């Protein structure tokens, strides 16, 4: 009989810069929605992933604490969710090594994130950047997580996690790891750059004008939306009218996701308006939704010792879940003393 797994959500964000609106709408806001009765929820700052590309140590420390503040200010309750920093739970890297032996080179070679991030500099990229998806599989499976809310860009990595679980189960003749479901839902699973509708909004984009940072003040948010690239046409009233208009689609998606609405409903309201009318509405909405979060983040950042305590307590709770699963994995693999 197939094993039944506890419904458990895991997801993580890299402290590789300040949080963006993409991270908020594509990930954190949805993490908050999944918190509650149906699932146990486990959320992580994945600092070990962040260092697969160079991070200044002082920035990494600051960004990790700021990310923790961002989670809490957005509504993650560190009591009802397990909230922690990856490097404080060594079971992730221990299982990650086992998965390095399960994942195949050919699988990792197909990962588009590696191709994008390594670019032409493949020979000079870190081994960690290449092996990133095997560690991500360990992040998820060390908790036997059944569901992983992510943005569209992470879908391929979650599929690889499923392949690793299936191969491990098959090779060792067990039904030990669940085949995890990616949860990619809502209007903003891929928020695009404000400067280029074909590029994902990203923390590490060199242009600050390409993204809204969660720490931006009202003026900065309004200015970035005002200057966001658009086309000269008015907004359509139907979704079909957004075809081949990536910048228009992006701003409408952002509006819908921020307003907990749908693209259809937004277009029913704003169809026919010029961007000169729509952008101020979007800016007002963004400021209304993001300002309380950014001021709470700033307040929390004044109490870093509290943040560190929350992370230490979260790591303790995470280890209590992860350690028995790692021990059983070692037993299955044949490690003496497991
Ligand atoms: N633009 C986006 N739209 C929707 N979702 C997004 N996510 C990231 N950008 C967008 C989702 O946020 C979660 C955490 O992502 P991450 O920080 O681990 O890595 P990333 O996807 O590589 O994000 P960035 O901002 O682009 O970071 P850098 O610049 O360091 O590479 C994931 O669920 C992701 O899907």
Cβ–ligand 1 distance for 140 under 6 Å, the answer no
Residue of 9, 15, 27 to test ligand 1 pocket, by largest number of atoms within 8 Å of CB: 27
Q: Is 295 in the pocket of ligand 1 (CB under 6 A)?
A: no
**Tokens 């970035």 found at:** 224
Atom of ligand 1 nearest to the CA of 20: 25
Q: The pTM is what?
A: 0.94
pLDDT of 36 strictly over 90: no
Q: CA-to-CA distance for 306 and 321, rounded, in angstroms?
A: 23
Per-residue pLDDT, averaged over 320-333, amounts to 98
Q: Which of 29, 203, 224, 279 is catalytic?
A: 203
* CA–CA dist 152, 146 (Å, integer): 18
Which member of 29, 62, 117, 289 is catalytic?
117
Which tens digits make up the pLDDT trace of 137-188? 999 999 999 999 999 999 999 999 999 999 999 999 999 999 999 999 888 8
Angstrom distances, CA of residue 76 to CA of 84, 94, 224, 241:
12, 27, 27, 37
If you measure from the C-alpha of residue 161 to the centroid of ligand 1, how many angstroms do you get, rounded to a whole number? 17
CA 19 vs. chain centroid, Å, equals: 10
115 is known as an active-site residue: no
- Substitution candidate for ligand 1 out of 17, 18, 153, 198 with most atoms within 8 A of CB: 153
What is the Å distance from ligand 1's center to 106 Cα? 24
DSSP of 163-215 = HHHHHHHHHHT---S--PEEE--STTSSPBPSS-TTSB--TT-S-GGGS-BTT
Residue-wise pLDDT tens digits, 295-321: 999 999 999 999 999 999 999 999 999
Q: Is residue 1 pLDDT above 80, yes or no?
A: no
């Amino acid at each position: 009989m197939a094993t039944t797994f506890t419904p458990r959500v895991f997801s993580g964000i890299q402290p590789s810069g300040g949080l963006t609106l993409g991270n908020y709408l594509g990930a954190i806001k949805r993490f908050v929605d999944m918190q509650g009765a149906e699932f146990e929820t486990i959320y992580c700052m994945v600092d070990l992933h962040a260092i697969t590309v160079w991070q200044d140590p002082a920035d990494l420390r600051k960004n990790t604490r700021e990310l923790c503040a961002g989670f809490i200010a957005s509504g993650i309750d560190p009591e009802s969710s397990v909230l922690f920093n990856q490097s404080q739970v060594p079971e992730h890297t221990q299982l990650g090594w086992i998965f390095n032996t399960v994942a195949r080179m050919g699988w990792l070679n197909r990962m588009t994130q590696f191709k994008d991030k390594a670019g032409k500099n493949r020979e000079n990229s870190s081994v960690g950047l290449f092996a990133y998806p095997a560690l991500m599989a360990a992040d998820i499976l060390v908790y036997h997580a059944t569901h992983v809310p992510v943005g569209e860009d992470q879908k391929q990595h979650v599929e690889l996690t499923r392949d690793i679980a299936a191969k491990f189960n098959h090779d060792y003749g067990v039904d030990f790891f669940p085949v995890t479901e990616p949860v990619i839902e809502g209007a903003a699973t891929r928020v695009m750059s404000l400067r280029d509708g074909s590029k994902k909004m990203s923390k590490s984009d060199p242009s600050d004008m390409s993204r809204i940072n969660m720490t931006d003040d009202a003026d900065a948010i309004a200015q970035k939306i005002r200057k966001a690239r658009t086309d000269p046409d008015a907004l359509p009233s139907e979704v079909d009218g957004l075809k081949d208009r990536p910048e228009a689609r992006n701003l409408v998606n952002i509006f819908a996701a921020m307003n907990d609405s749908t693209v259809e409903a937004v277009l029913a309201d704003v169809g026919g308006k010029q961007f000169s009318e729509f952008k101020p509405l979007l800016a007002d909405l963004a400021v209304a939704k993001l300002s309380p979060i950014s001021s709470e983040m700033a307040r929390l950042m004044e109490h870093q010792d509290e943040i560190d305590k929350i992370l230490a307590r979260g790591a303790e709770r995470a280890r209590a879940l992860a350690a028995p699963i790692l021990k059983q994995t070692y037993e299955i693999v044949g490690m003496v003393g497991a």
